[in-house]
Amino acid sequence: MEECYKLGLAKSIGICNYGVKKLTKLLEIATFPPAVNQVEMNPSWQQGKLREFCKQKGIHVSAWSALGAYKIFWGSGAVMENPILQDIAKAKGKTIAQVALRWVYQQGSSAMAKSTNRERMKQNLDIFDFELSEEDLERISQVPQRRQYTGDMWLSENGSCKTLEELWDGDV
Ligand SMILES: NC(=O)c1ccc[n+]([C@@H]2O[C@H](COP(=O)([O-])OP(=O)(O)OC[C@H]3O[C@@H](n4cnc5c(N)ncnc54)[C@H](OP(=O)(O)O)[C@@H]3O)[C@@H](O)[C@H]2O)c1
C-alpha cells in the first residue's frame, strides 16, 4: 500500500480491525501512517481506548456495524433495541438508528450503516438536524458493552491468532 501511495495510486492508506497493539507495531515501521482505521463501533461497543489512541496518532476512526449488525446472524438488538437509546429517540422525535449514528458522529467518527431499503438509507443520512446533549451522551455511556462480532472464525492453532485476546489485542 505504501508503494501505491508513493506512485499516487492511493490517496491515503486505510486499515481495518487494528487494535492498539497491532497499530503500535504498524506505526513503528510505517513510512506513511494510515489515515483511517475502520473497526466495530456503536453505542454497545464504544471503543473508548482505541479511539483515544487513534486520536493521539491523528488516525480517523470509522465505525462498521454502527447499528450493531441488527438482524444479521452474528449481530443483535444491543443497539437497535436498547432502552436508553429508545428513550432518547422518543424524546427527540428521531429513530434509534438516527440516535446511534448521531452518537458516532458526535464522537468525531464516521459511520457505516448498511441498508437495502431506500427509506432507511434516507433516514440514516438524516442526522444533522439534532444534537445529543451532554446528559444524553452520559446516558449512552451506560449502555452495556459487548462486541457483536466475536471473530472466533479467524482463530487457528496454526494461524497468527490462537485466542480472541490475541485477535483483538486484549480488548475483548
Ligand atoms: N471492515 C470490517 O471488518 C467490517 C465488518 C463488518 C461490516 N463491515 C461493513 O460495515 C457495513 C455496515 O455493517 P453491518 O451491515 O454489519 O451492520 P449495521 O449497519 O450495523 O446493520 C445493518 C442492519 O441494520 C438494518 N438497518 C439499517 N438501517 C436501519 C434503520 N434505519 N432502521 C432499522 N434497521 C436498519 C439493516 O436492514 P435493512 O437492510 O433491511 O435496512 C441490516 O439488517 C457493511 O456494509 C459492511 O461492509 C465491515
Q: Tell how far the Cα of 65 is from the centroid of ligand 1, in angstroms.
A: 5
Return the pLDDT at 78.
97
The domains found in the chain, sorted by start residue, are 2-167 (3.20.20.100)
Cα separation of 38 and 133, whole Å?
26
In sequence order, what DSSP letters do the residues of 72-138 get, joined into one string?
A: STT--STTTT-HHHHHHHHHHT--HHHHHHHHHHHTT-EE----S-HHHHHHHH--SS----HHHHH
Q: Tell how far the Cα of 28 is from the centroid of ligand 1, in angstroms.
A: 33
Return the pLDDT at 151.
92
Q: Tell how far the Cα of 151 is from the centroid of ligand 1, in angstroms.
A: 17
Tens place of pLDDT per residue across the chain (172 aa): 999 999 999 999 999 999 999 999 999 999 999 999 999 999 999 999 999 999 999 999 999 999 999 999 999 999 999 999 999 999 999 999 999 999 999 999 999 999 999 999 999 999 999 999 999 999 999 999 999 999 999 999 999 899 999 999 999 9
pTM metric for this prediction: 0.96
Q: Is 116 in the pocket of ligand 1 (CB under 6 A)?
A: yes
CA nearest ligand 1 atom 19, residue: 113
